[in-house]
Structure 1
Amino acid sequence: MFYDVAGPTALEHARATLQSVERRVGVEHRNQVVELAPPSPAPLTELLPGGDLPAGVAVTVRYSASLMCWLLGAAQRDRWIALIGWPELSPVAPFEAGVDLERVVAEPDAGSRIADVLAALLDGIEIVVTGPRAKITRSERRRLLARARQRATTILSPDSWEGAALELDVEQTRWSGPDRGAQWLREAHLGVVRRPRLDGDSARFDITRHGTTEPTALATRAAARRRAG
């Protein structure tokens, strides 16, 4: 048996092949660091468990009407939306967020029978948004949530809702543009905490929107878990 002493041995050849593969996947040999690609922004629906609005539950989006509209635009698809008790919300805001207004039912002021109106809408509308003017009692909220579970309808609210399955709280907001974005919005940055009330860990997200482009979500780190009330 003869060995080619001038050429590489089988072991050396194997090591060279391994190093080549490691370099391709971003791993440097032995004691050198592992190179990881930086995280990239994802669609705004990354905020939502499973990438979509959960059905048959209540979801709160607090401290930002803009985030509420962006979520509606990102998650509407072919579903119908009802906006009840929110006269301050101009139709321009959801339209610019990508909401199909031809599939929106709006009632700025449902009067004293707001609970009955909401109950009727839950029977035929997939997403029902209860605005700040939709004044309903705690017991009415419980009944409406039970009805939403039966009809697989999603309730969205800018206020706290007892028994909500998911809370999205905006803790930081930064607008840029002339007069800090009041006249012409160039960029928007929101810091959002996602708190599932049933299962899963809380997490923080950075939401960014450049001009009229689609807003994006970037998970930053886990948030302190809060015990459900």
Structure 2
Amino acid sequence: MFDTVAPPTTLERARAALQMVERRVGVEHHDQVVELAPPPPAPLTALLPDGDLPTGAAVTARDSVSLMCWLLGATQRERWIALVGWPDLSPVALAEAGVDLERVVAVPNAGGRAADVLAALLDGVEIVVAGPRAVLTVSERRRLLARARHRATTILSPGPWEGAALALDVEQARWSGPDHGAYWLRETHLSVTRRSRMDGAGARFDVARHGTTAPTALATRAAARRQAG
């Protein structure tokens, strides 16, 4: 019995024809390594697992007032925002971050009734910010979170919150100015660690703002495992 040789496939014939043409015109084939360019920065909402603040949940954004303002500006859209217990938060900073002040309710000092004020606002305001002077006990934070879940609203806090669905921690901040920026802040760079139940161990992002442009977020690498909240 004689061995039979299978006829060349269409792909093999095409390769042979290409090699013949290369030899005739003097073309040498070299393997090339193509390096992919890093992805361009995305809008700040890339910091959020679903591109928006989760509803019926608590979110913490710690160690950066700027990041808090930018988040409010990027996610407000036509929603109402309530600010409780944060008298030092500048309306100018909020407006520069893109917040519509016409849809902001501010209670700078709630005294010893912060929990009652927050509970009332959670019944009718989509995003409620519990500022640093809204002093709450652990049990009060838990009750407020349960209320937010029932009302499908969002609690945003610059401090820790038990059971938070999302935690954004600023690990490092760099600012350019005021000396070399003629006494104006020209650039801001934040290294942010995002931790949530939706993305497991978490992720790291570089958040940047150049001049008066909208801030952007660029994912860098995974973060060490730690529970949110």
Q: TM-score, normalised by structure 2?
A: 0.85
User: Aligned ranges for residues 20-35 of structure 1 at < 5 Å?
Assistant: 31-35=31-35
Instruction: Output the CA distance in 2 between the equivalents of 1:203 and 1:32.
Output: 32
Instruction: Output the CA distance in 2 between the equivalents of 1:108 and 1:166.
Output: 25
Instruction: Output the CA distance in 2 between the equivalents of 1:55 and 1:16.
Output: 61
Instruction: Measure how far apart 1:116 and its partner are.
Output: 0.7
User: Aligned ranges for residues 142-153 of structure 1 at < 5 Å?
Assistant: 142-153=142-153
Larger radius of gyration: 2
Q: 1:122 to 1:181 in 2, by over 3 A?
A: farther
For 2:161, the aligned partner's letter is W
Instruction: State the match for 1:158 in structure 2.
Output: 158
For 2:90, the aligned partner's letter is S
Instruction: Output the CA distance in 2 between the equivalents of 1:34 and 1:201.
Output: 31
Q: TM-score, normalised by structure 1?
A: 0.85
Unaligned runs of 5+ in 1: 1-8, 19-28
Instruction: Output the CA distance in 1 between the equivalents of 2:188 and 2:120.
Output: 36
Q: Does 1:63 align with 2:53?
A: no
Instruction: Output the CA distance in 2 between the equivalents of 1:210 and 1:99.
Output: 18
Instruction: Output the CA distance in 2 between the equivalents of 1:95 and 1:192.
Output: 23
Q: 1:30 to 1:187 in 2, by over 3 A?
A: same
CA distances 1:170-214 after superposition (whole Å, capped 9, x unpaired): 010000022377931100000000011465330000000001100
Q: 1:11 to 1:119 in 2, by over 3 A?
A: closer
- CA RMSD of superposed structures (Å): 2.4
Q: Percent identity?
A: 78
Instruction: State the match for 1:128 in structure 2.
Output: 128
Instruction: State the match for 1:193 in structure 2.
Output: 193
For 1:76, the aligned partner's letter is Q
Q: 1:182 to 1:95 in 2, by over 3 A?
A: farther
CA distances 1:89-119 after superposition (whole Å, capped 9, x unpaired): 1111110000000000001001111111100
Instruction: Measure how far apart 1:11 and its partner are.
Output: 4.8
Instruction: Output the CA distance in 2 between the equivalents of 1:81 and 1:183.
Output: 31
Instruction: Output the CA distance in 2 between the equivalents of 1:172 and 1:34.
Output: 33
DSSP-derived class of the 1:219 partner: strand
- The answer as to whether partners of 1:44 and 1:74 remain within 8 angstroms in 2 is yes
Instruction: Output the CA distance in 2 between the equivalents of 1:16 and 1:38.
Output: 36
DSSP-derived class of the 1:168 partner: strand
Runs of 4+ with deviation above 3 angstroms? 9-18, 29-32, 179-183
Instruction: Output the CA distance in 2 between the equivalents of 1:74 and 1:17.
Output: 57
Instruction: Measure how far apart 1:36 and its partner are.
Output: 1.6
DSSP-derived class of the 1:214 partner: coil
